[in-house]
Structure 1
Amino acid sequence: MAETQTPQEVEIDYTLNNPDTLTKYKTAAEISHKVLEAVSALCLEGEKIVEICQKGDKLLDEEIAKVYSKPHKGKKVTKGVAHPTTVSPSSYVTPYTPLLSDAAEAETTLNAGEVVKIQLGAQIDGFGTIVCDMVTVGKKEVTGREADLIVATHYANELLLRLMVPPGLLASGTDEEKKKAAAQKAPTQAQISALIEKVAKTYECNVIENTTSWLFDRNEIEGNKKIILTPGSGVRGEGVPEVGEVWGVEVGLSLGSGKVKNLDHRATLHRRTTTTYILKRPSSRQTLSEIVKKFGTFPFSLRQLDDEKAAKVGVVECVRGGVLRQYEPAGDADNAAVSRLLTTIAITKNGITKLAAPKAIDPTQFKTDKKIEDEEILKILEQPLSRSTGNKKNKNKKKKAAAN
């Protein structure tokens, strides 16, 4: 009599080859965009940063609850916040999310005219889409050095995205021409840094040291590849972008030197690591248990835990034992205004898809007398991010429109 074998569970493909994966990324991105727009509207003069962050997190939770509420293909889908709402004042380099229990910081308000960075994100089934955009508080038309900073950051970001397209991926022409284009080497990280720095210098800005773009994966926003702009001594990036990957692409510029200093603030942003450590204190174990249940391996604010004051105590041993990573608050060394944009992208066979991206700027709102004239940079900026994949119906409409 033949032995009955227990059927093995089919291994799920979590790469972009699985259409489900891209759908989940896009669903998370829609939430990130919707909440980003709402939070941007809250960034008004005199508003308390902690209250804006609270409202942003509440909106994230509400929007996340609306999707994948029923089992998908027979399985319950995990979902949650990929990055808490952070609102960083003008000279702050890192994401900032103050606590209600820190009285002085809880009173921090936004000032008119400052460049504020908003960062947040959602995740579906571990596929996170994080986005960072900027708002100039109380100004519809931006002039002077703030305009230089924002326009420079826009072009630096667009340049970096194009430098991440794998060589030859979008090449056209004969098979021989395509083959020749694909054989070209991807730009080195030193070359990428040099080009981004050229854009910054055009607008009399500097790239913030160690600005890092990371490879994203399921339940991971700091993968085994990274691109570091203007790396400090002993720091280096690793790897080049390839088809099938998702990246969090970051650009940050400064009206100062680009050097960074630690701020005299409590670290309120943390993330669980893969390190295991036997925690001795019951309060530490309780805090970690809540973190694992609510946030998995994604960043979170102490403000999001049930008891904020207890969490401040509970994370101490977790950080000391390496179970949690603590994000140290940092700002511009010269207290100058800094910018930051973060875009979550997918690299497919058709090029780069912006999943969660900052809003495109309206050039008429930013008055700067500076202009990019470097031929190499202008040529790269003219290149598309992806090839057109419009369907036949759209192509027919265009043909009719052209004929009329």
Structure 2
Amino acid sequence: MSNMEVSMAYPASKFEADNSLTNPDVVEKYQLAADIVNGILPLVVAKVDTGISVCDLCQYGDDLMKAHTEKMFKNSERGIAVPTCVSVNNIVQNFSPLSENDINLKPGDVVKIELGVHVDGYIATAAHTIVVPSNPQEPTTGKAADVIAATHYAYETALRMLRPGIKASEITRVITEIAAYFRCQPVEGTFSSPMKRFVLRAGKDIENRFLEELIIQDLEKYDFEIEANQVYQLNVVLTTGDGSVKNTEYKPFVYQRDVNKSYQLKMKSARQAYAEINANHTVFPFATRSLSSNTARLGLTSLLEHKLVTAYSAMRTKLNSDLVAQFKGTIMVTAEGPVRNTRALQLPFVHSLFCIPQTTTAATVLSTPEVNEIRQAKPLAAVDVTFGDRRVEKEDVDMDME
């Protein structure tokens, strides 16, 4: 996500107070956001099956997030922090298509579902990987099983290591180590990052892989120690390929407003898009389909040209035969260690021929106790959301300058 700076209208002293995990109100809002993610993500995952539309899955996740957040803190900002993205097989992240780019799932597809919510600016994000079942009674094997098992173990190891005093490079190293045991690689350009109120990427990243050009002597410049009183989106992404990425053939589906840029827009469609983004999404990413009409979507081109928004491309790995898996969660780092905000979901039924050797760093870390949730999740109330209920896309296009 974008490295969004704090606005001048948000003084540093207030920003610091609003992000102190010693404040019970701050912790509670983080957890309220996590409760929504914990309730919604399993519902979207449960819809994955042969023939299901990726567009419908994304719309369903977004509709659920909007329905649940609009009921709380009505005098505060709340809503979608990360639009629902459903990235299939070798597509890495940020795939949230319009109907004309839709994909229907096939047996054996490896499906990554990612979404996020904020309550008064306090964020919870999560992602889970599942395989479209061909025979639910039989385990998935082969490369799909390898990459899912590797990513799960790498995530759980990184989670246990996410504690004060540990260096980011130690976490990166063990993720790379586990990937190698399963004949996989971390995906370039993917990382975990600390979050603050209203900021998805609020500090130094923990990379999933070291930069190719990075030399040992330079590592110290980029390395850092994990500190207490932090909230991380822990995001582990591995592939059966060589880890390199390139753009897909799709135009970006996910954008984010840059609050540090301004421009006097002349095109009516651009002004409409900008007004909708400011009103409905503020500083958080949004999917193109959330804009009300084709006129507003057309205006995104002008907003990009003038750097008022940033685009997040749907990247893919090099080969179509590559598979990518992702596990992501929101973690609080306290002085005593990590605590889960978002809950780990049940793993898909997979069987890999590979394993983590005993007496290795990864095996030692995984032998330590599991990281607990901060508290029992509060159940969500029922909402009126129907799966497959698509928005009617208006066909109005107005290019007039005013």
In the alignment, does 2:22 pair up with 1:17?
A: yes
User: Which residue in 2 is equivalent to 1:93?
Assistant: 92
CA contact (8 A) 1:273 1:297 kept: yes
The alpha-carbon deviation at position 133 of structure 1 amounts to 0.4
Question: Residues 332 and 357 (structure 1 numbering): CA distance in 2 closer, same or farther, change over 3 Å?
Answer: farther
**CA–CA distance in 1 between the matches of 2:373 and 2:234?**
22
The alpha-carbon deviation at position 387 of structure 1 amounts to 8.4
User: Which residue in 1 is equivalent to 2:44?
Assistant: 39
Question: Residues 388 and 275 (structure 1 numbering): CA distance in 2 closer, same or farther, change over 3 Å?
Answer: closer
TM-score (norm 1): 0.81
User: Which residue in 1 is equivalent to 2:388?
Assistant: none
**CA–CA distance in 2 between the matches of 1:389 and 1:33?**
13
The alpha-carbon deviation at position 37 of structure 1 amounts to 0.8
In the alignment, does 2:241 pair up with 1:243?
A: no
**CA–CA distance in 2 between the matches of 1:329 and 1:386?**
32
Q: Where in structure 2 are there 5+ consecutive unaligned residues? A: 1-12, 376-402
The alpha-carbon deviation at position 121 of structure 1 amounts to 1.3
**CA–CA distance in 2 between the matches of 1:188 and 1:301?**
31
Choose from 273, 282, 298 the match for 1:296: 282
3-state DSSP of counterpart to 1:339 = strand
User: Which residue in 1 is equivalent to 2:167?
Assistant: 187
TM-score (norm 2): 0.81
| Structure whose alpha-carbon radius of gyration is higher | 1
The alpha-carbon deviation at position 188 of structure 1 amounts to 4.6
**CA–CA distance in 2 between the matches of 1:382 and 1:256?**
28
3-state DSSP of counterpart to 1:142 = coil
Question: Residues 295 and 210 (structure 1 numbering): CA distance in 2 closer, same or farther, change over 3 Å?
Answer: same
Once structures 1 and 2 are overlaid, which stretch shifts more, 146-155 or 309-318?
A: 309-318
CA contact (8 A) 2:340 2:371 kept: no
Q: Where in structure 1 are there 5+ consecutive unaligned residues? A: 1-9, 70-75, 168-185, 391-404
**CA–CA distance in 1 between the matches of 2:319 and 2:241?**
6
Q: Work out the number of aligned pairs and report it.
A: 349
Question: Residues 11 and 116 (structure 1 numbering): CA distance in 2 closer, same or farther, change over 3 Å?
Answer: closer
Q: Which has the higher helix share?
A: 1
Q: Would you identify which runs of 4 or more consecutive aligned residues in structure 1 move more than 6 Å? A: 387-390
Q: Percent identity?
A: 28
The alpha-carbon deviation at position 358 of structure 1 amounts to 3.6
CA contact (8 A) 2:341 2:374 kept: no
The alpha-carbon deviation at position 281 of structure 1 amounts to 2.3
3-state DSSP of counterpart to 1:66 = coil
The alpha-carbon deviation at position 162 of structure 1 amounts to 2.1
The alpha-carbon deviation at position 343 of structure 1 amounts to 1.1
Q: Which residues in structure 2 correspond to 1:188-227 (within 5 Å)?
A: 188-189=168-169, 191-227=170-206
The alpha-carbon deviation at position 234 of structure 1 amounts to 6.1
**CA–CA distance in 1 between the matches of 2:282 and 2:56?**
25
> Deviation per CA, 1:71-106, whole angstroms, max 9, x where unpaired?
xxxxx2221111111111111012211113xx2x13
User: What amino acid maps onto 1:324 in structure 2?
Assistant: V
The alpha-carbon deviation at position 388 of structure 1 amounts to 11
Once structures 1 and 2 are overlaid, which stretch shifts more, 28-37 or 310-319?
A: 310-319
User: Which residue in 2 is equivalent to 1:136?
Assistant: 131
The alpha-carbon deviation at position 68 of structure 1 amounts to 2.9
Question: Residues 389 and 27 (structure 1 numbering): CA distance in 2 closer, same or farther, change over 3 Å?
Answer: closer
In the alignment, does 2:155 pair up with 1:157?
A: yes
**CA–CA distance in 1 between the matches of 2:108 and 2:30?**
34
Q: Which residues in structure 2 correspond to 1:249-260 (within 5 Å)?
A: 249-260=234-245
Root-mean-square deviation (CA), in Å? 2.3
> Deviation per CA, 1:353-394, whole angstroms, max 9, x where unpaired?
1112441437xx32222111152221112234658999xxxx
User: What amino acid maps onto 1:58 in structure 2?
Assistant: D
CA contact (8 A) 2:85 2:93 kept: no
Question: Residues 389 and 251 (structure 1 numbering): CA distance in 2 closer, same or farther, change over 3 Å?
Answer: closer
CA contact (8 A) 1:161 1:385 kept: no
CA contact (8 A) 2:167 2:223 kept: no
**CA–CA distance in 2 between the matches of 1:51 and 1:322?**
30
CA contact (8 A) 2:172 2:206 kept: no
The alpha-carbon deviation at position 23 of structure 1 amounts to 0.7
User: Which residue in 2 is equivalent to 1:321?
Assistant: 306
CA contact (8 A) 1:350 1:386 kept: no
3-state DSSP of counterpart to 2:127 = strand
3-state DSSP of counterpart to 1:88 = strand
User: Which residue in 1 is equivalent to 2:107?
Assistant: 112
